Amino acid sequence: MPEPLTSEERLRYSRHLLIPEIGEAGQVKLKHASVLLVGSGALGSPAAMYLAAAGVGSLGLVDDDVVDVSNLQRQILHGESWVGKPKLDSAVARLKEVNPHVKVEAHPVRFTPENAMQIAAEYDLIVDGSDNFPTRFLTNDTAFFLKKPLVYGAIHRFEGQASVFAPHLGGPCYRCMLPSMPAPGSAPSCAEAGVLGVLPGIIGSLQAMEAIKLLLGTGSTPLGKLTVYEALQSSFRSLNLHRDPNCRLCGDQPEIASVTNSETTASTTCESTTISMQTITTLELRNILTDEFDGLLIDVRQPDEHAACNLPEAKLIPLSTLPAELDSLPKDQEIYVHCKAGGRSAKAVEFLMDHGFTQVTNIAGGMDAWLKEE
């Protein structure tokens, strides 16, 4: 029998206890749950504060950074008096103030392939609040090997994304969406591109919500669903993501055997965001493929896959032959790329962007998503 709530806790969480999906049993679950937050910055701040306030019993935070005055516009865990001091000292003090019942474990180190598995093994799930690709690949790979859910979030200027990656529960991993490291320079850094301070508040709160749902076992987990929030359009969209059978981590013939690999050990000199390529859903593609369509749709699958089923508008250019076709492709036209599940087309879009194509769009979910809608 897990330790029940104290009378003080019953009072503190009374608004949770009123919700049938939580109740005393759910609140006790939260009390005995643990979450690791990688990063205590823009996304980690709201996520950690809401998880603490909600009564998640144990929170681990990994961060070796120091509070800078330029963080305060968005990293609401930290305040003026903490500038120049370690972020985790600030975070522990703030979270203790939010909820003294929560145990906060500080890991004042960088999250690296050497320590990731050991640190994360202690927790029920991982919330990714990192701001660079190698750490994102590392949290993904660590969660995969430990069979723990990864609550993903990313932000860029006015746009944010969130999802849950958990191949052991079904659905894709982060690498199914982004198969390899974007080329340096193809994704602007947070420092270069900027971010509106409220945005991580929204995305980090979505991450806290998904984490709490997972811990309670309540509602549906957005496996294979990427929530995209566009602040300027005031819109939330849901993109379908599919497990990529060619994924190097969770695919049918995986190549990656440990958290030490070329992505997780890459240098982080470029502090980049994940949102580097234009992506649309197959539903949006349907709206684009009208009689007036004057762009180019490319299918980068193999000829046998194309022969089995294809979109009549699509031109077949298998991924391996794309370099040879480069000179024949228009730079003044919109190019849309699809494959079976979205993995190979993402690679193709990256490749085209590296070669000076600016109007390139990836079709999330590929042919699989298209066929599901029919």
Exposed, middle or buried: residue 100 (CB in 10 Å: 0-12, 13-18, 19+)?
Answer: exposed
Give me the residue label for tokens 């809608």.
373
135 three-state secondary structure: helix
Q: Which residue number, 78 or 175, has a Cβ lying nearer to Zn ion?
A: 175
- 340 forms part of the interface with Zn ion (CB under 5 A): no
Binding mask 191-220 for Zn ion (x = CB under 5 A): ------------------------------
State the catalytic residue, choosing from 176, 190, 247, 250.
190
Binding mask 161-180 for Zn ion (x = CB under 5 A): ------------x-xx----
Residue 167: CB minimum distance to Zn ion, A:
6
Residue 176: CB minimum distance to Zn ion, A:
4
85 three-state secondary structure: coil
Residue 133: CB minimum distance to Zn ion, A:
15
Binding mask 129-168 for Zn ion (x = CB under 5 A): ----------------------------------------
Binding mask 236-255 for Zn ion (x = CB under 5 A): -----------x-xx-----
Q: Which residue number, 50 or 144, has a Cβ lying nearer to Zn ion?
A: 144
> In whole angstroms, what is the distance from residue 206 CA to residue 93 CA?
24
Interface with Zn ion in residues 82-101 (CB under 5 A): none
State the catalytic residue, choosing from 173, 247, 250, 339.
339
Active site residue 309: no
Closest CA to 31 of 12, 51, 57, 11: 57
> In whole angstroms, what is the distance from residue 28 CA to residue 6 CA?
10
> In whole angstroms, what is the distance from residue 316 CA to residue 75 CA?
46
**C-alpha torsion sign, points 316, 321, 324, 327:** positive
Residue 252: CB minimum distance to Zn ion, A:
11
Residue 369: CB minimum distance to Zn ion, A:
16
Residue 151: CB minimum distance to Zn ion, A:
16
Q: Which residue number, 4 or 254, has a Cβ lying nearer to Zn ion?
A: 254
Q: Please count the other Cβ atoms lying within 10 Å of the Cβ belonging to residue 351.
A: 18
Q: Which residue number, 51 or 250, has a Cβ lying nearer to Zn ion?
A: 250
Active site residue 339: yes
Q: Which residues contact 352 (CB under 8 A, 6 or more apart)?
A: 322, 329, 335, 337, 360
> In whole angstroms, what is the distance from residue 189 CA to residue 132 CA?
9
> In whole angstroms, what is the distance from residue 366 CA to residue 293 CA?
19
Q: Which residue number, 9 or 244, has a Cβ lying nearer to Zn ion?
A: 244
Q: Which residue number, 43 or 176, has a Cβ lying nearer to Zn ion?
A: 176
> In whole angstroms, what is the distance from residue 58 CA to residue 101 CA?
9
Provide the annotated active-site residues: 190, 339
Instruction: Give residues in contact with Zn ion (CB under 5 A).
Output: 173, 175-176, 247, 249-250
